[in-house]
A and B are shown apart, each in its own frame.
Chain A
Amino acid sequence: MWHRSASTPVMNPSFQVLIKQERDVDIILFSGRMDANSSPDGEEGIQSLVRSGRTKIVVNASGLSYISSSGLRVLLAGLKLAREAGGDIRLSCLQPQIRDVITMTGFNRIFTIFEREEEAVKSFLS
Chain B
Amino acid sequence: MDIFGGLLLEYAEIIHVLFQLVCVLSVIAYLLSRTGTFREVVSGRLTWKNQAFLVLVFGALSVYGTYGAIEIMGAPVNVRDLGPMVAGLLGGPVAGLGAGLIGALYRSGMGGFTVVPCCLATVIAGLLGGLLWLYNRRKFIGIGNAVLFAGGMEVLHLGLVLLLAEPRHDAELLVAQIGIPMILANAGGMFIFAFIIANLISEERTKGERDTFHDELEKKNAELAVARRIQESFLPARVPSIEGFDLAAQSIPAREVGGDFYDVILRDGRAPFGLIIADVSGKGIPAALFMALSRTVTRANAKWHRDASLAVGNANRMISDDAPFGMFVTLCYVLIDPESRVLSCVNAGHNPPLLVRAGGSCTEIAPAGPALGILPDAEFSEERITLSPGDLLVLYTDGITESINARGEEYGRERLVDLALRNRGRCAREVLDLIKADVADHAAGMPQFDDITLVVLKVGSP
Chain A residues proximal to chain B, CB less than 8 Å: 35-36, 66, 68-70, 72-80, 104-107, 109-110
Contacts and interface: CB of A to CB of B under 8 A. Distances in A.
Interface stretch (B54-62, B156-164, B242-250, B367-375): B367-375
Contacts of B259: 69
Q: Name, among A35, A105, A107, the residue most crowded by chain B CB atoms within 10 Å (CB to CB).
A: A105
Contact of A73 (B325, B350, B367, B375): B325
A70 B374 contact: no
Contacts of B328: 69, 72-73, 76, 105
Contact of B281 (A66, A69, A104): A69
Given A104-B352, A109-B370, A109-B378, 8 more contacts: A68-B402, A69-B259, A69-B330, A73-B325, A80-B326, A104-B350, A105-B328, A110-B375
Contact of B282 (A70, A78, A80, A110): A70
B282 A105 contact: no
B184 interface: no
Contacts of A106: 348-349, 367, 369-371, 374-375, 378
A72 B348 CA distance: 15
10 contacts: A36-B282, A66-B402, A69-B330, A70-B283, A76-B281, A104-B350, A104-B351, A104-B367, A109-B370, A109-B378
A15 to B, nearest CB: 13
A121 B24 CA distance: 76
A105 B375 contact: no
B280 interface: yes
A69 B279 contact: yes
Contacts of B398: 68-69
A73 B371 contact: no
A73 B370 contact: no
B8 to A, nearest CB: 59
A24 to B, nearest CB: 24
Contact of A68 (B349, B378, B450): B450
Contacts of A78: 326
A68 B398 CA distance: 9
Nearest to A36: B283
Contacts, number: 73
By secondary structure, the B interface counts as: loop
B213 interface: no
B449 interface: yes
Contacts of A72: 281, 326, 328
A107 B449 CA distance: 23
Contact of B326 (A66, A68, A74): A74
Contacts of A69: 259, 279-282, 328, 330, 398
A105 B283 contact: no
Contacts of A74: 326
Interface of B: 259, 279-284, 325-328, 330, 348-352, 367, 369-371, 374-375, 378, 398, 402, 449-450
Contacts of A104: 330, 349-352, 367
A79 B375 CA distance: 12
A79 B370 contact: no
A102 to B, nearest CB: 10
Contacts of A76: 281, 326, 328, 374
A73 B449 contact: no
Contacts of A66: 402
A73 B282 contact: yes
Contacts of B369: 106
A107 B249 CA distance: 28
B407 to A, nearest CB: 14
Contact of A75 (B280, B326, B371): B326
A79 B367 contact: no
A77 B326 contact: yes
A111 to B, nearest CB: 10
B280 A107 contact: no
B326 A73 contact: yes
Contacts of B367: 104-106
A105 B327 contact: no
Nearest to A79: B326
A68 B260 CA distance: 14
A91 to B, nearest CB: 14
Contacts of A70: 281-283
A107 B402 contact: no
Contacts of B350: 104
Contact of A110 (B279, B351, B374, B449): B374
A29 B254 CA distance: 29
A105 B450 contact: no
Interface centre among A73, A77, A109 (most CB of B within 10 A): A73
Nearest to A72: B281
Nearest to B369: A106
Nearest to B371: A105
A101 B420 CA distance: 23
Contact of B370 (A35, A75, A80, A107): A107
A77 B281 CA distance: 11
In this complex, which of A69, A73, A75, A105 has the most chain B Cβ atoms within 10 angstroms of its Cβ?
A69
> Which of the listed residues A66, A75, A76 has the most CB atoms from chain B within 10 Å of its own CB?
A76
Nearest to B372: A106
B414 to A, nearest CB: 14
